Structure 1
Amino acid sequence: MTEESDDVDVPEFVDEAEVRGFLHTPSGRSVGSLALTHGAGGNFDAPLLAASADAWSARGFTVLRFDLAFRRRKPSGPPHPSKADADRASIETAVTYLRRLRRGPILLGGHSYGGRQASMLVAEQPELVDGLILMSYPLHPPGKPEKARTAHLPQLRTRTMFVHGTKDPFGSPAELSDAIALMPAHTATIEISGAGHDLSAKKYGVAGLVLENALEFFDAGSWS
């Protein structure tokens, strides 16, 4: 496992080649990379993303927290379903950007809508990244379990970690377990007791909890 460092560079703002966000660079040699994106109501400054980026960078990872295409088009408001393909393309562009910067393994993480689009992209391109971290995966709209967002999961073969609050209205722990059963991928689940859809990063210490579990699940300690 990588030694934790207190000397982490100040994040660098990036706005180029269809990538907009903040790049967190560790003070020493990077042992891997993590691309992180937001949900339908957020952007790259979402507290969960910022806390996660700081935690991973402190452990030797290069982290890019970035805006999806819909957020680059407008500063607020939800994405439009008809343009979801552009959001997936922006995820692929961000991963490609990170790969040009650093060799080695790369993980892809997303909160809610961002995680859903990331999983759909990786279901189509299983070699794109070495693992997925899906935080508050939106299994269905609140109160509408009949509108499941799981059709692509049987095609998802990339190692995947789910992070889910027990009070998430977008899907219960039991519903998540049923959805995971559809997947051929190797999976793990971190259940945050009492958390809702936003996961309340500061209240529950989500960033650190996910990091420690992910290092083991993805065998990231061997990446160095």
Structure 2
Amino acid sequence: MTPPTTPTPPADPSPPSPPTGPATPTTETVATPAGEARITWHPAPGPRLVLAAGHGAGGGIEARDLRALAAELPRHGVSVALVEQPWRVAGKKVAPAPRTLDTAWRALWPALARPGLPVIAAGRSAGARVACRTAGELGAHAVLALSFPLHPPGRPERTRAPELLGTGVPTLVVQGGRDPFGRPEEFPEGPYEIVEVPHADHGFAVPKRAEPGQEEALARIAGSVVRWVASLG
């Protein structure tokens, strides 16, 4: 007698797909009254928000904090749009007057809102000021201010606090502990949250022997923003 055989289970016709990661960045050019601006999109799979971040007056979207957010936030359902102002796209070395930066940002806003999702206005340094000044009129969902320049170095009497206090929307400030444009303890009380990055300067660089170190500083920035975005609902 032939012994009974154990039937072989049928092969799974549709094996599970690997998790979907962030998509490849794409770039678009947008015409503004100040010249052509550029948006580099870091899309999230199934996004629920857009974080649009402008750069400062002394650099572009290659800033370490902007790169860290573009790498991390798409994993949490937030598409990141890194915005290059027209003066930077044109290769100029000096940023124009604040009103010109605001004009370009306003003209860019329809492209940032095109996905039909709530948009968090963000920026570092001068870009943070732009986001604060225009948040209310543009209908921003919230504001993220990275290295907000509370005052020029050594000139605390020339405060820019009214810009920060007047956003009218949920606002998070992420500030270096030794930022000459305003240390965290110099900020006035107001309707915003502030996170300190220990030992960090205006560009969120930390001394080589500092603890926590550079990678931990960037992780603190990204983690703080992820938690804050989740709290927005």
TM over 0.5: yes
Q: Is 1:96 paired with 2:89? A: no
For 1:188, which of 190, 193, 217 is the aligned residue? 193
CA offsets per residue over residues 6-28 of structure 1, 9 Å max, x none?
Answer: 622221122233430311112x2
Tell me which residue corresponds to 1:118.
Answer: 131
Tell me which residue corresponds to 1:200.
Answer: 205
Tell me which residue corresponds to 2:66.
Answer: 49
Alpha carbon RMSD of aligned pairs, Å?
2.4
**Native 8 Å contact 2:53 2:83 kept in 1:** yes
AA of the residue aligned to 1:44: I
Give 5+ residue unaligned stretches, structure 2.
1-18, 207-212
Q: Percent identity?
A: 24
For 1:135, which of 146, 151, 155 is the aligned residue? 146
- 1:165, distance to aligned residue in structure 2 (A): 0.7
Greater RCO (Cα-Cα under 8 Å, separation 6 or more): 1
TM-score (norm 2): 0.78
Tell me which residue corresponds to 1:87.
Answer: 101
- 1:93, distance to aligned residue in structure 2 (A): 3.0
Tell me which residue corresponds to 1:77.
Answer: 93
**What is the total number of aligned residue pairs between the two structures?**
205
AA of the residue aligned to 1:170: F
Q: Matched residues in 2 for 1:33 and 1:220: separation?
A: 15
Moved more, 196-205 or 152-161: 196-205
AA of the residue aligned to 2:42: H
For 1:161, which of 172, 178, 195 is the aligned residue? 172
CA offsets per residue over residues 127-181 of structure 1, 9 Å max, x none?
Answer: 52111110110011111112222233443211100000110001122211x2xx2
Give 5+ residue unaligned stretches, structure 1.
none
Q: Is 1:29 paired with 2:46? A: yes
Q: Is 1:61 paired with 2:78? A: yes
Change (3 A) 1:153 1:36: closer
Q: Matched residues in 1 for 2:151 and 2:58: separation?
A: 16
Q: Matched residues in 2 for 1:38 and 1:96: separation?
A: 19
Q: Matched residues in 1 for 2:232 and 2:158: separation?
A: 39
Moved more, 107-116 or 40-49: 40-49
TM-score (norm 1): 0.81
Change (3 A) 1:48 1:218: closer
Moved more, 109-118 or 196-205: 196-205
Q: Matched residues in 1 for 2:22 and 2:140: separation?
A: 24
Q: Matched residues in 2 for 1:154 and 1:77: separation?
A: 30
**Native 8 Å contact 2:129 2:163 kept in 1:** no
**Native 8 Å contact 1:55 1:207 kept in 2:** no
AA of the residue aligned to 2:43: T
The structure whose residues are more often helix, as a share, is: 1
